[in-house]
Amino acid sequence: MIPYDLSAPVLFFPVRHHSPVCSWQLLRAAEEYRPEIILIEGPEDASGLIPVLTGEGTELPAAIYYFYKDKKKLISEEEEDYRCYYPFQYSSPEYNAMKAAEKLGIEARFIDLPYCEILINTEGGKGLRREEGQSYSDDGRLTAGDYYKRLCEKTQVRSFDEFWEKYFEIAGLHMEPREFVRVMNTYCSLVRSGTSQRELEADGTLVRENCMAANIKAAMQQYSRVLVVTGGFHTPGLRELIKQDSIPQVKRHKIPEGCTGCFPAAYSYEAADALHGYSSGMKYPYFCDRVIKRLIKEKTPDGIYRDEALTLLIKTARAAAEQDIPVSVADVEAAHSLMTGLASLRGMRECGMAEAVDAVTSAYIKGEKNVSSSVPLDILRKLATGDGVGRIGDKAHTPPLIADFEKQCALFKLKHDTAVPQELECGLFTGTKGLKLSRFLHRMDFLGTGFCICEKGPDLHGSTDRSRVREIWKYKRTPAVDAFLIDRTTDGFTIEEACTNIASKRMQTRDRLADAAHTAVDCFLMGISIDGEREQLLRTAASDGDFFSVGEALEHFRTLYELKKLYEYEDSLMLPLLASCFDKLTLILPLMACVPDDRADRLCSVMKQLFALTDTLLTDRRGMFTQSLLELTEQPQKHPAVYGAAMGLLCAIEPDIQKDAEAVMRGYLNGTLPVRKQGAEYLKGLFSTARDIVFSQNDFLLMTDELLTSMSKDDFMEILPPLRLAFSYFTPQEIAETAENIARLYSTDSDSLLYGEVIDEELFAFGQKLDREIMKELGR
Amino acid sequence: MEQFIKPPVEVRYSEELALLAANDKGKKPVSWKLSPAAVRTFIIGGEVATPEGKVKISRKFYGNDALVERAVITLAGSRGLMLVGEPGTAKTMLSELLSAACCGVSTNTVQGTAGTTEDMIKYSWNYAMLLSKGPCREALVPSPLLIGMEKGIFARFEEITRTPAEIQDSLISVMSDQILVIPELGDEGLVLARPGFNIIGTANTRDKGVNEMSGALKRRFNFETVEPVRDVRLEKQIIVREAEELAAAGHIDCPVDPDVAELLAVTYHELREGVTAEGTVVEKPAAVMSTAEAVSVFFQALCHAWYYGSGRIEPAVLTEGLLGAVCKENKDDLGKLRGYFKTAAKEKSKAGELWKAYIDSAKELK
């Protein structure tokens, strides 16, 4: 058994991460033992961040963020990037150990291997290399094996969390540190005894303990009273190791600069919760923090759990009432009495979270417990988990991007100290900050931080909703936002700089002009000029041989050119780019006459774009475009829709060509049945670019009528889809006008054409009956 | 005890109750026969320390132990206990166990039906005596509720949601004020509830749409949802234990085959969950697939084996019983049952001869 000897040169204090009772007993042990140094389980290269974490301006939860980029392939051939957090909250024993050292005026030091070395010494899929191994303070080990399951059965509790709360968190508060350490050591030693050496080696435990033991021994050379605070699972191993004369040395690797590092970062209660999926720490972190804060303040554990659980019940009732779930004072009283009664029945001094959950289940949920009726339970869990986000006080250690992010959040009054999702309406052109705020949010979105998402607003990438003048954003700060910002530190020291550099890199690596134009739209939204990319973009425009890629880029550049004044966007590059795209497209256009069916519509759309440009921005290129269209119509093989669209545009440029367009249509009409079917496609293309042709003269209507009446029902059904599309270019008023024209041809009125005759109900029933009788007779 | 088909819980487990009472050192709520801790041990099993050593108490309710604890503490307080859940989830049994352990009586019961009237809940009269003596205490016929109030014991209200809502609401004043007024008796007509009185209601979630409880009445109860047993091993255990007890009561000296019980437990579990152990999705029947139904099917097959067969349960008989239990509410359930056997046949025919025979017997499903 591991002794708790206050006269020994080293005192091991086993803890469970984030446990209030461990923190409370640790603080008492530190008072009793009066160490000269406190050694804490944590990567040794982060020791310099201890004063930052305990500094005045720092608010928990906070974390140390570690990253490692395996450029030297020390872990695997994949050159993967790794990252993890070491979270701290007020109930974390490690944090309280640092605070105790500060209070005693002694040094606190981390003693574990650096993050990268742990990874190198861990087998794939184990320890910190597990997929969910993003938390350094993983204490899943406490529930390894069947030992704890048997304990739960024996003690008639439902889960390890309930067992821990009953026998450690609540009962442990009333023990002396000596007794508490004994109980902790017993539990942890028994759990460890069920773990094989092979497993310990595979997940890096042994090598880490070698490092920690070597650091403890080194400290013992220098100091006569050393307090060691580590996860309870490691304590038996460390104790054995320091008895040995020599400890196996751990090889350290030379890691290139910039490939590994650690930063202090804000963390959230939501992420600190054990239910979050990292299997680290404890459930209900906010509740744990409330408990330890009161323990430290009141210096006595009596009644703290009971009071805090009652406070939660009251808050839950209030929050439920806000959601129209009636919870009365009588319900709160019933829940309180149930909670205390359960604690008594379960042999506990005070009720804890397990009892609070039971009380809400029984007294607040009216009726069958199911997903919809369990809202009060969800509220309770949410309240106990907390939604706060911490803050790092000493900005000297704050990564520059995070510092800039916080500065911008403060400037725009964005709530960044809560994990509760926020919604924001941003008027783009109202006030002085509208556009700036939008640009900041677009920058955060561009960086891929996950901080915000635009729910509504103009979609310039898709060229839709351009007329919207407001954006609706949802945003939420999570530890992942900080992690992404830290990862992007190499791209720049401000968010704007990082975005500029990333955008520039993207434009330089894109071969397709459409992709580069997509990034240009991003820059436009972020308010970042692309003038510096002139050479690169023009080069890409010249080298991209994909007609549709250049067509898409043309559309983007045109949108940006049209909106740049409204968006106060500095630019001198859009017009040259538009001209470059235009020239390239008109050059290739004749060769595109025979596109596959699935691309014909897109081609027609590009042709319309080109035509529109010759009408506005590039009027000097009208002749060039006309020539290109004529060349297209002269191609021996043409897609009928493209042909139609080209003829439509030519009609718009030169009205005399309308006769030719009619002649082409006649050609389709006089052809064989498959050719006639193509007539529908031709009409579709024609109407897409020149729908007014229908209204100027009746000839096209007559031809369309001729086309339709010459077909059998089956053939008509076959051409119906393209025909429907052709007429979709008309407005309802134009369709009504067309119907009137057709009606005149047949000497009738448009209503009877559009809506048909209403059949008498009785007549219809009679017809049906007749049908049935006939079928019956035929079936005999 | 053997001359009754189903002796009350307090009779059936009289020895255990006496043992627990004799060795109960815990604090008891007023009028309770046992302390909450002893009630818990009686229901979910455990050990009791006697001067002669530790004696084992059998587990009677399988499922959520915390629910039992909450139920016990609720009953020790001022609120009633409402047990809700699917049919066949042992709500009534739990209610009986709680009444027997806390008050020593489990038979003080109102059975809720569509025809339940306020008289049945509060009080009625012996009309011959009423005509002869006028309204007096002798002529009064107390309801279980009134008996509970006067004696300080629990009144059980079975299937409360099958009772019309306005009739259910007659409980409100009793539960709020713990008083029942009998105006016909004048000054003597005020009945005050004695300590220990409480109400345990049970409600079937399939009936709740028929007569939804009023909010006012809901507020006077703590609700507990009793879930079906979701552990196949546990369900098998329950089938075996219940079948053995039923067989002993019926003098059926036929061995209970745990493998056959497992077969049935697996079938019920998979049909209830809509997925087989191998992960294949199966259609859930509309019928209630409760453990109580499984016990009934198993015991039926056991009786058949004892009276008509070789003393061993034949899979074909089990399948017939299953057909009768599953296909009674919805005609589509037969197709779903056939579908299950077809699916199971693919996956489980390699599991042994018993499964093979069971699946083969499903050909007769019509």
B5-58 tens-digit pLDDT: 778 888 989 999 999 999 988 888 988 999 999 999 999 988 888 888 889 998
Cβ–Cβ under 8 Å, residues B129 and B139: yes
> How many domains does chain B fold into?
2
pLDDT digits (tens, 9 = 90+) for A99-124: 999 999 999 999 988 888 888 878 77
- Do A362 and B65 lie within an 8 Å CB cutoff? no
B27 in a domain, yes or no?
Answer: no
Size of interface A-B (CB pairs under 8 A): 67
Burial of A604 (C-beta count, 10 Å sphere; 0-12/13-18/19+): buried
Q: Note the residue count of chain A.
A: 780
Q: Is residue A6 part of a domain?
A: no
Contacts of B222 in chain A (CB under 8 A): 334, 338, 362-363
* Chosen domain end from B226, B261, B289: B226
- Number of domains chain A contains: 4
Instruction: Find chain B residues with C-beta within 8 A of A366's C-beta.
Output: 215, 218-219, 223
**Residue B214 and residue B76 share a domain:** yes
Task: Report angle CA A17, A20, A21 to the nearest 5 degrees.
Answer: 100
Task: Please answer yes or no on whether B225 and A358 come within 8 Å at the CB atom.
Answer: no
- Condensed to tens digits (0 to 9), the pLDDT of residues B208-246 reads 655 578 888 888 889 999 888 878 888 888 888 888 888
**Which pLDDT value is given to residue A55?**
86
Residues of B in contact with A334 (CB under 8 A): 77-79, 222
Q: In this complex, is the C-beta atom of A367 within 8 Å of any C-beta atom belonging to chain B?
A: yes
- Which chain B residue's Cα is nearest to A364? B222
Q: What's the pLDDT score for residue A277?
A: 44
Q: B157 and B291 share a domain?
A: no
Half-sphere exposure of A542 (CA within 13 A, CB side): 7
Whether residue A430 is found in the same domain as residue A351: no
- Tell whether B218 lies on the interface with A, counting CB pairs under 8 A: yes
Rounded CA-CA distance A437/A442 in Å is 9
Domain final residue, candidates B226, B256, B287: B226
Give the 3-state secondary structure of A207-245. Answer: HHHHHHHHHHHHHHHHCCCEEEEEECCCHHHHHHHHHCC
Segment A57-99, tens digit of pLDDT: 888 888 888 888 877 787 777 777 787 888 899 999 999 999 9
Q: Which of B226, B259, B281 is the last residue of a domain?
A: B226
Are A725 and A681 spatial neighbours (Cβ–Cβ below 8 Å)? Answer: no
Cα distance between residue B156 and residue B82, in whole Å: 10
A475, part of any domain: yes
Instruction: Determine, yes or no, domain membership for B38.
Output: no
Q: Give the model confidence (pLDDT) of A388-411 as tens digits.
A: 888 888 777 777 788 888 888 988
Q: Are residues A118 and A254 in the same domain?
A: yes
> For the residues B141-168, what does the mean pLDDT come to?
90
Q: Which domain holds residue B181?
A: 66-226
Distance of CA A318 to the CA centre of its chain: 31
| Average pLDDT, rounded, for chain B | 85
* Half-sphere exposure (Cβ direction) of A627: Cα atoms closer than 13 Å: 9
Tell me the mean pLDDT in the region B185-199.
Answer: 88
Interval A280-337: pLDDT, tens:
567 899 999 999 999 999 888 888 899 999 999 999 999 988 888 888 888 898 899 9
Residues A453 and A352 in one domain: no
CA B337 to each of CA A355, B276, B314, B350, B363: distance values in angstroms, whole numbers, following the listed order: 42, 13, 19, 20, 11
Instruction: Please tell me if residue A363 touches chain B, with a CB cutoff of 8 Å.
Output: yes
Same domain, A380 and A431: no
Interface of B with A in 50-89 (CB under 8 A): 65-66, 69-70, 72-74, 76-79, 84-85
**Inter-chain contact A338–B84, Cβ cutoff 8 Å?**
no
Minimum distance, in Å, between the CA of residue A344 and any CA atom of chain B: 9
| Confidence (pLDDT) at A133 | 53
- Given CB atoms, is A522 within the 8 Å cutoff of chain B? no
Inside any domain, residue A263: no
- Does B23 reside within a domain? no
The lowest-confidence range among A155-159, A579-583, B45-49 is A155-159
Is residue B51 domain-resident? no
Domain check: are B149 and B216 in the same one?
Answer: yes
Residue A279: pLDDT band with limits 50, 70, 90? very low
Contacts of B84 in chain A (CB under 8 A): 367-368
How far is residue A696 from each of residues A61, A584, A666, measured CA to CA in Å? Answer: 73, 34, 18
pLDDT of residue B211: 57
| Mean pLDDT of all residues in B271-300 | 82
What is d(CA A19, CA A26) in angstroms, rounded to the nearest whole number?
Answer: 11
Q: Which of A351, A362, A370 is the best mutation test for B, with the most CBs of B within 10 A?
A: A362
Contact between chains at B77 and A328 (C-beta distance less than 8 A): no
* Contacting residues of B for A338, CB less than 8 Å apart: 70, 73-74, 77, 222
Residue B303 lies in a domain: yes
**What are the tens digits of pLDDT across the range A229-278?**
998 888 888 888 888 888 888 888 888 777 788 888 888 888 777 555 44
Lowest mean pLDDT of A537-551, A623-637, B283-297, name the range.
B283-297
Contacts from A396-400 at CB under 8 Å and sequence distance 24+? A396/A52, A397/A49, A397/A52, A397/A263, A397/A264, A398/A263, A398/A264, A399/A263, A399/A265, A399/A485, A399/A486, A399/A489, A400/A489, A400/A493, A400/A494
**B176 touches A at CB < 8 Å:** no
One domain for residues A312 and A348:
yes
Within a domain: A499:
no
Domain that holds residue A683: 639-780
Residue B36 within any structural domain of the chain: no
Any idea what the CATH number is for the domain that residue B179 is in?
3.40.50.300
Cis peptide before A61 (omega within 30 of 0): yes
**pLDDT value at residue A239:** 87
Chain B residues with CB under 8 Å of A358 CB are 66, 69-70
Q: Which helix (H) or strand (E) covers residue A334, if one does?
A: helix A329-345
ipTM (interface pTM): 0.81
The answer to whether the CB atoms of A367 and B84 lie below 8 A apart is yes
CA torsion sign, B61 to B64 to B68 to B71?
negative
Identify whether residues A374 and A406 lie together within a single domain: no
Mutate which: B25, B39, B57, B70, vs A, most A CBs within 10 A: B70
For testing contact with chain A, the best of B47, B59, B69, B89 (most A CBs within 10 A): B69
Task: Pick the range with the lowest mean pLDDT from A576-580, B329-333, B357-361.
Answer: B329-333
Q: Are strands B109-111 and B123-125 parallel, antiparallel or unpaired?
A: unpaired
**CB nearest to A369's CB, from B37, B69, B225:** B225
